[in-house]
Structure 1
Amino acid sequence: MNAELTLVCTSDVLRMAQIRSGTMNPAHLASHFLGGNPDTLSDKPDSKLHDVLQHFYKRYYSDNFMAAIIYSNQPLPDMAKLSAYAFDHITNHRALVSPIIVLAAAALPIANNSAAFRSKIDTYINLIGNCSPGILADWLQKEELAASIDAGADPMVNRNGGVFAIAAFLSDKGYAQRDQVMATIFSYLSLLRHQGIQGHYFDEIAHVLGQDFCFRR
């Protein structure tokens, strides 16, 4: 892990993760150092790394924290047998973890809405990167402020919370006017919040996801 950390420590992705950790609630475990190096992966005077890992495993490796998804073209009875073989040995220790508010300032924090995955709320926000006429990305391109803009959400970044992130790939003109670009993005988010879910966009997303499911290779 130390070699991997050394390789990526200067990447933009890891830098953003460091900023997010440094600006969130310090009581949350995600605010701590998340990598592995010779210091974090070694024994300490008052504890042995192997003992600490064993204690963590026995306390938190519990099926009430888990969900399993099996994706296969096999008959359901065969899949049931496979899932029983793979997962029945996992014990429910009724492990509990007190929720801690993330309070991140480096990105837009969202609640862990993974239980509502069928609604595709997080997929809907990809609309921000849609280049259809009149959409934010289309306007930024026509104004020569950005080549493209992407958006996405991950509700499970910090177990009980996630992140909604927007990345705008600015032109030189856009970088010079980055405050205006940011203001425009937040204005568009406010517009989406005011308008609510648009049925025709939702139907389009459902159609695309349906095609992806049917023709997945």
Structure 2
Amino acid sequence: MTKKSREKGFTLIELAIVLVVIGIIIGAILKGQDLIENARHKKFANEIKLWDTLTWAFLDRKGRFPGDGDRDGVIGEDAGDNVKTDLQTLANSPTENSLTLGSFRFYLWLGNDGVTPKPKNILTITNGATTAGSVAFSSDELAYMESFDASIDGVSDGAAGRVRGSNSAPTVASGTWVGTLTGLAAPPADAWTSATTALVYYFDRKPE
């Protein structure tokens, strides 16, 4: 007696099981990507807060902010102001002002917003090491800015609070880590859009 072989397709139950397994795998991949992205956002925020902490530690030790050579309370106001030299007198100080997160690289600067008559101190973030090289943030880069804004101000609008968006790139000096805004009549208040070129953090005091 010969046995006749026949092709057998998947049953509906088997197909359902396969689809469930595929769904679980895809969900795990997406969850893993979210965890990686959240970890990067947290590292981004922690680096900014480290600079914030070091700035206040320098003030506590020296009686002035780093980059405030004339001790008038304003960072980067004079030609000889040097944030890099000052910060590197502290233990555990950064050796560079850049932060690499995956394929993204950001640069941190200390300076002032240039608003007269009394400029306010700021910590700015750009994606370029020079003024000309700082271009508008991509949508993925904006996600880092919005995440930090929400962690400080509770919302991520870029237009109010201590964290602001700026459509104008700061004037930066890679040799001194000084970054200042110029030509503004009021603190920047630009929403996070494809035109945003800098994150501006008023670490010293909230702008009026």
Which has the higher relative contact order, 1 or 2, with Cα contacts under 8 A spaced 6 or more apart?
A: 2
| Shared fold per TM-score greater than 0.5 | no
> If the length of structure 1 is used for normalisation, what is the TM-score?
0.21
Greater strand fraction, Structure 1 or Structure 2? 2
- Which protein is richer in helix relative to its size? 1
